[in-house]
Amino acid sequence: MKHYNVPADFKIETLDWYCGLMDKYPECRITETYGQITVGNRLGSGRAGDLIPAVDLNNLSTYVNCSKKKGIDFNYTLNATCLSNIEFTKNGLKEIMEFLDTIYEIGIDKITIAMPSLIELTKLSKYKFEIKASTLCQIDNANKAINIKQLGADRIVIDESINRDFSTLKSIISSFGKGAEVIVNVICNKDCIYRMFHQNQVSHDISTENRSTTYYSHRCIMQRIEKVSNLMRMNWIRPEDIKYYTALGISNFKIQGRQAVQNGNIVMTVESYFKESFDGNLMELLDCFSPTNSFKVYIDNKSLNGFIEPFVVDGEFCKSNCERCGYCDEFIDKCIDRDKTNEVFDLAREFYSQYDEYINMIKDNNKKSDNGNKKPYENKLR
C-alpha cells in the first residue's frame, strides 16, 4: 500500500474527490492532508502566509471534522524554522502551549515540526501528538534520522536533496524504520545556497502584512533559468518512477504544494501519482498545474523514461559535481526544444533582472547617498 500526504485546500468537495480516487486506485491511500491557519497565526510555517488559503480556527475545525469522517487524517504544519526566539520566553512558551491545546481540542493529533526546540516542547506537552520532522530539518543521512527520532519524531520527511541518492535513502530507511517519507514533486534547485535562509525568511512572512521582498523567490527562479539542464537536477520523482522507491521500502510519499492549491489542480496531481503515469508537461505537474509565472517551459514527461535508472543501478553515479558530469545536459535534449526554451529563459532573465526589488532598493539607496545625504554613521561621527 502506498500512502500519500497532500496539501489541504480546505474544500469539502476536494475530500470527496479524494475518496473517489482511493476507490479507483485501491493500492493507494491519502493518509492525511496538511496545512495551517493563516488568520490570527503568529507561529508561521514553511510557507508565506499570502501564498496559501485564508483559514481561521473555525474553518480549520470544520475541515478537520469532515475529513476525519471520510477517513482522511489532518497534519498541522508548525514547521517554521524561526520564531524569533519566543519559544525561549515564558510568554512565548505559554502562547505555544495554548495553541497546542486549541488544535488538539479541534481534533488534530499530528503535527509537522522543523525546530528541535518545538519537537521537545510538543513531546513534553500533556497531549500525545504524533510528530513528523519536516523536510526543513535537512535529514539527509542515517545519523540525522536516528538523532531526530531520539529527540521525539515519530515520522520524518527526508531532505529532497537526496531523492536520487538511493544508497543513502536505503540507509535511512533501514535505520529509521517505518514512517520515512519522500517529497515527489520537488521544485527546489539542487544544492541551493539560498534554501536555509529562504526558509527563515518565509517563517516570518506569516501574513500579507509581514510580507518581505522577493529576494529569495527570484533568486530561486534565476538559478533555475541559468542553465536548461538545471531543470533536470531538481530531484523530482516522476509518477512512473515511484516503483524504484517502493522497492527500497518507502511507502510514504508527500506532494508539496500548499502555495498551489488555490489556483492549481491538486486532484489531477494526486491522480497522476496514483496511476503512476502522466502524459504532458512535467513542469506543470511539479507545480500542481498552478500558473506560477508567464515563462513556461515544456518538458515532455514520457521522454524522461530511463533518466533515473543510472542513479538506481549505481549508488555512486551522481557526485554532485555537475560541471564535470554532463549527464543531465545530454539527456535533456531528448525532452525539450532547446531553442524555444532558451528564448523563454532570455525573456525571464530580462524580466527578473529588471524587477529585482532587492537590487532596486540598493540602487535607490546608493542614489540617495550620492546626492549628498549623510549616512547615519557619518552623522554620529560629526
Looking at this protein, which amino acid is placed at residue 306?
A: G
- pLDDT, position 379: 57
CB 70 within 8 A of CB 4: no
Q: Which residues pair with 300 in a beta bridge?
A: 281
Residue of 158, 189, 185, 160 lying closest to 270 (CA atoms): 185
Q: Which residues of 312-327 are buried (b: 16+ CB within 10 A; e: fewer)?
A: beeeebbeeebeeeeb
In whole angstroms, give the CA distance from residue 300 to residue 155: 34
CB 284 within 8 A of CB 244: no
Cell numbers for 92, please give them: 512565548
CB 113 within 8 A of CB 81: no
Write the DSSP assignment of 264-316 as a string of letters.
S-HHHHHHHHHTT---SBHHHHHTTT----S-----BGGGGTTTTHHHHH-TT
In whole angstroms, give the CA distance from residue 52 to residue 290: 13
Quote the pTM value. Answer: 0.90
Say how many Å lie between the first and final Cα of the chain, rounded. 73
pLDDT (tens digit per residue) in 262-317: 888 999 999 999 999 999 999 999 999 998 777 889 999 999 999 999 999 998 89
User: Among the ranges 41-50, 77-86, 220-229, which has the highest mean pLDDT value?
Assistant: 77-86
In whole angstroms, give the CA distance from residue 48 to residue 214: 11
pLDDT (tens digit per residue) in 328-365: 999 998 899 888 898 888 988 888 887 777 777 788 88
